[in-house]
Amino acid sequence: MTPEPKRLLLVEDDRVLRRACEASLRRKGFHVTIAVDGRAALDELEAWTGPLPDLILLDLLMPRLTGIEVLRALRADPRTKAVPVLILSNSSREQDQAQIDQFEIAGYFVKSNLSLQELGEHVARLLGD
Amino acid sequence: MPIIDSESILIVDDERLVADTLREALVLQGHHCLIAGTGAEALQCLRSTNVALVLLDLRLPDMTGIEVMHAALRQGSDPDILIMTGQASAESAMEAVEGSTVGYILKPIEMSRLVGIVRRVLERRRLAHENTRLQFEINQRLKETEAVLAISKASSSALGTQEALRRICRELTRLIGADTGAVYLHDAGSDQLMPLAGYKVPPELLPALLATPLPLKEQGFHAAIWSQRRPVMSDDVAGDPRFSHELFRLFKHQSGLVLPLILDDKVAGAFYLAWWTERRQLSKRELGLMESVAAQATGLLRNIRLLEQAERERGRLDVLYEISRRLAAARDSKSVLARLVDEASNLLGVEAAGIRLVEGGDLVLAARTVSAARIMAKARIKVGESLSGHVVASGEPLQVSNLDADDRYDVEHKRGAVEHGFQAFLGVPLRLHDRVIGTLNVYTKRRREFATDEVSLLSALADQAALAIHKARLLADAQAREREAIQLYEVTSLLASSLDTDWILDQIYERAVNLLRCDAFGIHMPDPARGGLTLRRGFNLPAELEDNLVLKPGEGIVGRALESRKPAWTRDHLSDSSLTYAPGTDDLIRARAPRAYLAVPILIRGEVLGVLTSYFFEPHDFSENEIRLLATLADHAGIAMDNARHYEHERQISQMKSDFVSFVTHQLRTPLAGIKWMLELASQEKDLPAEAGSYVQDAQAAAQRLIGLVNDLLDVARLERGKLSIALQPVPLRSLTQSVLEETRLLVEEKGHRLELGGDGDGPVVSADPQLLRQVILNLVSNAIKYTRDGGKIEIEMREADSEGRWQIRDSGLGVPAAAQARLFEKFYRADNVTTLETEGTGLGLYLVRLIMEQLGGRVWCESVEGEGATFMFTLPRPTETT
């Protein structure tokens, strides 16, 4: 029997990156939900039906609500506080370090230094495949 | 005292023939003879004439010879008596001889016998008289000798002048048999005889006597005393025109003797001896005696004066020594000067003394005796004013022996002294290094000429005072310098501690008043909106100035400092005609600004950042030190303000850099990631034509290169700003190297290199940040691969050396030209020869390697011979126990 596909929530404001990411992860068999910015991500989770996503891929620099603010909201909500989050940033880690250190996260990657292949492998590893 | 020569022989006989015969015979012998016929006649003759010998007949008409003899004795006559008698009355003659006669001779008288008797009697009498006279003389001499002895004793004893002279006066009075005596000393200042002591002066007259000086010049006896130096004697003082002074009327007496004391050809004093009622005349001998006693007294006086002078000298030396000893110990000049004026007045025997010191064009009171409060009343006078001013202006001692009569010097200023009874003045200059710094003055209520040695004594005291002042000034100066240095250090340290201009200005103006000891302080800063300098900070300054004062270059002192870029000052702007202002400003300054001010520009590289101004409310002479101090403050203010400016500039640039890094990070990386991912997706497309696939592959490589470049730039930026967080931990070099080689395996294979990793085991462990060290190793391995021709050989070795881990990679590549080796690790530097093989390098790789190694506390370098490959090495510290 084919296992239930893992559910991912991809939060990314850049259309091209969002598209590439989504395509690559879908090809690998993940169920990908899209949010175009932080606010949209929280709205999506608010309206979420069924089991919560297995992993959230979260950009940091976004309009309306930044990744850090989303992370803070997720961790403050008992419903979402245990959902693992993988940070996909385009800043340098040092710039973000101070802010993300206060949260438990599943990983941190700089998008331009990461291939889609590597991303897929990391996600699979995180989700126990 | 009977004088033999004038004595006569009296012949008393009632027989005229007998008498004549006797006279004839005696006259022949050279005697003078008188004849009396009766007893009464004889007694009468004895009363009125000096009779040495009476030839007395026993039988006279009116009385017997015996009776005459007794009567003569009774009436005090004292002749020798020779009784002439006949045989018949021999008994009576015997009787007479038992009286006080010299003998008897029988009548008829044998002449030769009579003459013999007369000669013997007269001879005996002469001898007796002579004897008496000698006796008298001897007594007299004895008395004199006693007196002179007493005088000598008085002279040689250790008595003071007054007591010694009083005793001499006593002895003189006794010696000459005067009733009373007094002694006077001559006072050169007033040319008067000043009473010193009296002997046997009636108590009711003594006060008047001692209070009344005798003006020598007005006395009639002056000429005699002055020019001939002879005693003056009068036995009728009341009627004698030479004794004209009222004292002689007050002091009624019959006879008087003025006996001068002559010392060094000058009248040094005099004795006055008086007889109440006796009309006394002095024999030559007595006068001579008096003079010789006076000469003795003069000798005494000389000795005493020498002694007193020696005493005085010793006293002066003691005082000078004491003063200089105190000076050596004294830290403030005030107490020393106070003591000095007291000593000056004691030593010179004057009532008042004081010191004034030069301060600018003024003479300021520095010390005075209590008694000088009225005569040196003003705290500040002008140089040139008053006697003090003359002393300072001329630099010479000045004395005025009669202030009242003097009209050569400042009449206005000496009036105070005259009103308070001061008569004489002596002032000497206080000199320091050939400069007159003040004056030491003494005042006395007596008219008085100060002697040369007194002037030099006062000058010696003045020298001491000058030294004291000098020392105190040096000390005060040193203390002030020290205090200033401390305060300056505090201020400048404070200024250097901040990069905030406003805070710096606050510190300057809050502390400047204390540092500069000025009354007020201002900081003028350029205010382009108001077209000049305005007061940015003001301490103790009127609000009108702070609000309304705008100064243009050249305007007033502040404008002058701004324009000339040098300190400028005025002691009093109200009287300084060189200052010009705009019309409104003129009024504002005149009405509101403090009188004296000093302005110093804050200069940095020729640019005036502002002007510091210290103010005094009263006219003030700015010293070099004050100017230097404010200039130093301005220098430090300038540096601090400049630092603040630079800091602000740096901060802005830093912010811009930071902004740029964020921009690059996000704005470049996002599209780059997009390109990279899309190309990755494209490359995975099935049915992709081979040609297109190779295009996509090239695009991927180009994108990867661009991403690498951006990463390198970001790393460099972060490393240069020291913003990189470094997590040091023990890193095994071998496993780290192996992981890098995994990553580069494909590249090595592509170029057909043979790569060897020497040694076995884990290799050295070093202290490093694994991420950064990985970047270093990756860079060095990549370079070796890139800059070695295909099929080359690359060897990596590592070992432990002392406390370090050493890593090296040797290639068989191009090598590094010697000239390039030193610059190889510089930013954007690329050796000339590398472009022949590889054009993609950015010149950032080895620079990054160096930056990282510096951050990690390690060292990286290169050894190479061009054409024979290169060896790159780095060392890193091994972890300590704690890491």
| B483-650 maps to CATH 3.30.450.40 | yes
Using a CB-CB cut-off of 8 Å, the residues of chain B touching A120 are none
Please write the tens of the pLDDT for every residue from B113-136: 888 888 888 888 888 888 888 888
Put simply, the chain B residues between 725 and 764 with a CB less than 8 A from any chain A CB are: 725
CATH number of A7-126: 3.40.50.2300
Q: Is pLDDT of A16 > 80?
A: yes
Strands (E), A2-113: 7-11, 31-35, 55-58, 85-89, 107-110
Q: Which of B43-57, B86-100, B574-588 has the lowest mean pLDDT?
A: B86-100
pLDDT band at B751 (very low <50, low <70, confident <90, very high): confident
Using a CB-CB cut-off of 8 Å, the residues of chain B touching A21 are 677
Domain with CATH 3.30.450.40 in chain B: 157-310, 333-361+375-467, 483-650
Domain boundaries, chain A: 7-126
pLDDT recorded at residue B114: 83
B871: its two tokens: 């060896």
pLDDT recorded at residue A33: 92
| B333-361+375-467 maps to CATH 3.30.465.10 | no
pLDDT recorded at residue B4: 47
Put simply, the chain B residues between 711 and 730 with a CB less than 8 A from any chain A CB are: 711, 714, 718, 723-725
Using a CB-CB cut-off of 8 Å, the residues of chain A touching B696 are none
Using a CB-CB cut-off of 8 Å, the residues of chain A touching B684 are 27
State the average pLDDT over residues B347-359: 86
Interface test with A, best of B658, B661, B665 (most A CBs within 10 A): B665
Q: Is B427 exposed, middle or buried (0-12, 13-18, 19+ CB in 10 A)?
A: buried
A77: its two tokens: 């909500």
Q: Half-sphere exposure of residue B683, counting CA atoms within 13 Å on the CB side?
A: 17
Q: Is pLDDT of B90 > 70?
A: no
pLDDT band at B93 (very low <50, low <70, confident <90, very high): low
Cβ separation B673–A92 shorter than 8 A: no
Cβ separation B680–A97 shorter than 8 A: no
Cβ separation B676–A24 shorter than 8 A: no
pLDDT recorded at residue B568: 92
pLDDT band at B417 (very low <50, low <70, confident <90, very high): confident
Q: Is pLDDT of B161 > 80?
A: no
Cβ separation A14–B676 shorter than 8 A: no
Q: Quick check: B701 contacting A, CB < 8 Å?
A: no
Q: Quick check: B74 contacting A, CB < 8 Å?
A: no
Name the residue facing A20 among B681, B718, B723 (closest C-beta).
B681
Residues of A contacting chain B (CB within 8 angstroms):
14, 16-17, 20-21, 23-24, 27, 61, 90-92, 94-95, 97, 110-117
pLDDT band at B2 (very low <50, low <70, confident <90, very high): very low
CATH architecture of the domain formed by B4-134: 3-Layer(aba) Sandwich (3.40)
Q: Is pLDDT of B640 > 90?
A: no
Distance CA B336, CA B323 (A): 8
DSSP B685: -
Distance CA B618, CA B146 (A): 78
Q: Is pLDDT of B158 > 60?
A: no
pLDDT band at B883 (very low <50, low <70, confident <90, very high): very low
Name the residue facing B669 among A27, A94, A112 (closest C-beta).
A112
B134: its two tokens: 């000698």
Q: Is pLDDT of A74 > 50?
A: yes
Write the CB contacts of B879 (distance below 8 Å, at least 6 apart in sequence).
B729, B730, B765, B766, B767
Using a CB-CB cut-off of 8 Å, the residues of chain B touching A115 are 676-677, 680
Q: Half-sphere exposure of residue B763, counting CA atoms within 13 Å on the CB side?
A: 21
Write the CB contacts of B758 (distance below 8 Å, at least 6 apart in sequence).
B795, B796, B797, B798
Q: Is pLDDT of B763 > 70?
A: yes
Please write the tens of the pLDDT for every residue from B619-638: 888 888 888 888 888 888 88
Cβ separation B680–A21 shorter than 8 A: no
Name the residue facing A92 among B665, B670, B677 (closest C-beta).
B665
pLDDT recorded at residue B812: 87
Quick one: which of B363, B519, B517 has its CA closest to B438?
B363
pLDDT band at B56 (very low <50, low <70, confident <90, very high): confident
Q: Quick check: B671 contacting A, CB < 8 Å?
A: yes
pLDDT band at B824 (very low <50, low <70, confident <90, very high): confident
Q: Is pLDDT of B76 > 80?
A: no
Using a CB-CB cut-off of 8 Å, the residues of chain A touching B661 are 92
Using a CB-CB cut-off of 8 Å, the residues of chain A touching B678 are 16, 20
Mean pLDDT value across chain B: 81
Please write the tens of the pLDDT for every residue from A33-50: 999 998 999 998 888 888
Interface test with B, best of A91, A112, A113, A121 (most B CBs within 10 A): A112
B174 vs B322: which has the higher pLDDT = B174
Using a CB-CB cut-off of 8 Å, the residues of chain A touching B711 are 112-113
Q: Which of A41-45, B492-496, B731-735 has the lowest mean pLDDT?
A: B492-496
Q: What angle do CA B502, B505, B508 make, to 5 degrees?
A: 150
pLDDT recorded at residue B1: 31
- Edge to edge, the sheet with strand B568-570 lists B550-551, B532-539, B520-527, B607-616, B596-604, B568-570
pLDDT recorded at residue B338: 84
Cβ separation A94–B725 shorter than 8 A: yes
Which chain A residue has its CA at the smallest distance from B674's CA? Answer: A17
Which chain B residue has its CA at the smallest distance from A12's CA? Answer: B670
pLDDT recorded at residue B601: 92
Q: Is B356 exposed, middle or buried (0-12, 13-18, 19+ CB in 10 A)?
A: buried
Using a CB-CB cut-off of 8 Å, the residues of chain A touching B707 are 112-113
The one-letter amino acid at B738? Q
pLDDT band at B364 (very low <50, low <70, confident <90, very high): confident
Q: Which of B90-94, B580-584, B641-645, B710-714 has the lowest mean pLDDT?
A: B90-94
pLDDT recorded at residue B258: 86
pLDDT recorded at residue B326: 67
pLDDT recorded at residue B615: 92
Which chain A residue has its CA at the smallest distance from B672's CA? Answer: A112
Please write the tens of the pLDDT for every residue from B674-724: 999 999 999 988 888 889 889 998 898 888 888 888 888 877 777 777 666
- B277 within 8 A of B254, measured Cβ to Cβ: yes
Distance CA B215, CA B603 (A): 78
B177 three-state secondary structure:
coil
Write the CB contacts of B434 (distance below 8 Å, at least 6 apart in sequence).
none
Cβ separation B714–A115 shorter than 8 A: no
What is the reported pTM? Answer: 0.42
Write the CB contacts of B608 (distance below 8 Å, at least 6 apart in sequence).
B526, B562, B565, B601, B602
B177: left (phi over 0), alpha (psi -120 to 50) or beta: left
State the average pLDDT over residues B544-563: 87
Using a CB-CB cut-off of 8 Å, the residues of chain B touching A24 are 677, 680-681
Name the residue facing B714 among A23, A92, A117 (closest C-beta).
A92
- B852 within 8 A of B773, measured Cβ to Cβ: yes
Using a CB-CB cut-off of 8 Å, the residues of chain B touching A14 are 670, 674
State the average pLDDT over residues A92-104: 73
CATH fold of B157-310, please?
Beta-Lactamase (3.30.450)
pLDDT band at B5 (very low <50, low <70, confident <90, very high): low
A:B CB pairs within 8 Å = 64
Which chain A residue has its CA at the smallest distance from B708's CA? Answer: A113
pLDDT band at B613 (very low <50, low <70, confident <90, very high): very high
State the average pLDDT over residues B328-352: 78
Cβ separation A116–B681 shorter than 8 A: yes
Quick one: which of B745, B726, B746 has its CA closest to B857?
B726
Q: Quick check: B670 contacting A, CB < 8 Å?
A: yes
Domain with CATH 3.30.565.10 in chain B: 725-877
- ipTM at complex level: 0.92
Using a CB-CB cut-off of 8 Å, the residues of chain A touching B669 are 90, 110-112
pLDDT recorded at residue B673: 92
- B204 within 8 A of B340, measured Cβ to Cβ: no
